[in-house]
Amino acid sequence: MLLHERKPSHWEPRGAVDRIAGLRHTPMQQDHENSEASQPHRGKHSANQANISLRATLSLDVMRLLIPLSWYDFPSAGGRGPGGLGDSGRARPWARAFVVSIALVLAGDPVAQGQTIRQPADPKERAPARAAQRSAPSAADVSLQDIEQHLGQFRIGGQDFAVVLHLKRPVGAQADRPDEAALSALDIQDALGTTLYRKTFSYALEAGTFSHSCAASAQLLDGGAAKGLLISIGCLPSAPRSGDVWELFGLMNGRLMRFERPFTTDGDFLRLIPNPPRKVGRATLFLPDVMQFRVWAGNFQVTVPVHVDWMQGRLTPGQRCFEQTGHGLKDSGCEVPVEAQRVPSDQELTFVRLFTEASAGMGLPRHVVVRKDSRVEILSAKIKMSWDQSREVILFGVDDQDPWLKVRIDGQEGWIHTQEDFSAIGLPQTG
């Protein structure tokens, strides 16, 4: 009220607003715009500096228009308006505060300081992001329930054993979908429920599902002289064509023990071939049983044997073959069963080099034509088995050297061994 009652006669609020509106096209701003238009090569930084100076000048002009000079509480004002020295010779503190407040407001304006005002995001644009956040719960938002799964009984050497799988499953997940559960621990128990062996496993949750998890199964192996328990463990994600990790258990001095260490290969376990004990005179000969695995060899799958020595609790390569050379015996590889899925070539005509024996030094090869409609039969393979037990898990498979493949092409039989010849009969390298 004091401000309206004591305002000077020359106070023209409407005219001041009109004059502020007219400042939008002042000669100074026009000169600034013309200067920028005439210098298109000037950088954004120079334009921003000029814009800040222009806005600061406009802010001072606005203050002069809104507040008469006689209202400033400065000795040089000399006016008779409120706060001037000509009124009562006393300074008006509220006038100073009023001026400072307006200056602070103008100085704090982000536009006056040359800052960019960020416009609020379109609600239509924010909606999908909020929906995505709601549809992807974090691991902390997912409740897991503990489930036990019992496998067995498995009778070995007159004793009963069971395998207990401890699983984690999200609440509400379907019980008939094993991919919605993760293995957290595995126990082997005796008939009294005493845990004889325990192994734990890690798992990870992302967006409400398991991004890393393991599963396990168990089966009884009935050997020629003994029985054993085979545990298969598979985890996801995993490399293409990689196999499970297996652990074999058997009785040693009446106690259930694990054989050496876990083992794995790029393939699957097929079967156990038992070897019954043999009588040699008065002695009894115990031969190892044979575990067969289907292993990937780069272009096809081969059957690889692994020996199981129940008496010593050991696993060893099941087959090694040698040939006599001028420098003594040499590991030449063994002939094994093969499985292959041909993808016939699009070429109308090609050829392969067909060897009589699975050796590049045994005579000259024949060049056999392979047509698009040729009859190609894959008979067997000759490979060298690899066996690496330098790590915590034994890794076995096919040696990196080119394996040999025995084929019959339109009635002509022989051996091939290069990637070029494998591709010619429709077995390109994969995996």
Supply the angle between the helices 44-66 and 13-22 in degrees, to the nearest 10.
160
Q: What is the mean pLDDT of residues 384-409?
A: 93
Q: Residue 147, class by beta-carbon neighbours within 10 Å (0-12 exposed, 13-18 middle, 19+ buried)?
A: middle
- Per DSSP, the three-state class of 187 is strand
- Quickly list DSSP for 102-122: HHHHHHH-TTTTTPPPPPPPP
Mean pLDDT value of segment 82-96: 41
Question: Residue 262 and residue 392: Cα distance in Å, rounded?
Answer: 7
Write the CA distances from 214 to 117, 178, 229, 234, integer angstroms.
52, 10, 19, 6
Domain ranges for the chain: 2-108, 136-258, 294-431
Q: Please say whether the beta carbons of 77 and 89 come within 8 A.
A: no
- Tell me what the mean pLDDT of segment 61-67 comes to: 45
Name the average pLDDT for the chain: 76
Position 327 scores a pLDDT of: 83
Each residue's pLDDT tens digit, 17-39: 333 333 333 333 444 444 444 44
> Percent of the chain beyond pLDDT 70?
66
pTM: 0.66
Buried/exposed 248-282: b ≥16 CB within 10 Å, e otherwise: bbbbeeeebebbeebbbbbbebeebebbeeeeeee
C-alpha 67/C-alpha 64 separation (Å) is 5
Which range of 31-45, 70-84, 365-379 scores highest in mean pLDDT? It is: 365-379
Kind plus residue range of the DSSP H or E element containing 123? helix 123-135
Percent of the chain with pLDDT strictly greater than 90: 52
d(CA 184, CA 63): 73
CB distance 68 to 62 below 8 Å: no
Give the model's confidence band at 168: pLDDT under 50 very low, under 70 low, under 90 confident, else very high: very high
Query: What is the mean pLDDT of the segment spanning 239-260?
Result: 92
Q: What is the pLDDT of residue 143?
A: 87
pLDDT of residue 115: 41
Q: Which residue has the tokens 């696993």?
A: 315
Does pLDDT of 76 surpass 70?
no
Least confident of 240-249, 265-274, 308-317, 357-366: 357-366
- What confidence category does residue 123 fall into, taking pLDDT thresholds of 50, 70 and 90? very low
Q: What pLDDT is stored for residue 200 in this prediction?
A: 97
Task: Note the pLDDT tens digit of each residue in 287-338.
Answer: 999 999 999 999 999 999 999 999 999 999 998 898 887 788 888 899 999 9
Residue 426 DSSP class: T
**What mean pLDDT is predicted for residues 228-246?**
92
Q: Which residue has the tokens 């009589």?
A: 356
With contact defined as beta carbons under 8 Å apart, do 340 and 300 qualify? yes
Least confident of 50-59, 275-284, 372-381: 50-59
* C-beta separation of 293 from 306 below 8 A: yes
Residue 318's identity, in one-letter code, is G
pLDDT of residue 331: 84
Predicted confidence (pLDDT) per residue in 126-167, tens digit: 444 444 444 445 555 578 999 999 999 999 999 999 999 999
Q: Which residue has the higher pLDDT, 277 or 27?
A: 277
pLDDT reading at 12 higher than 90:
no
Chain centroid to Cα 325, Å, comes to 49
Residues 390/260, Cβ–Cβ less than 8 Å:
no
Using only C-alpha atoms, the chain has a radius of gyration, in whole angstroms, of: 44
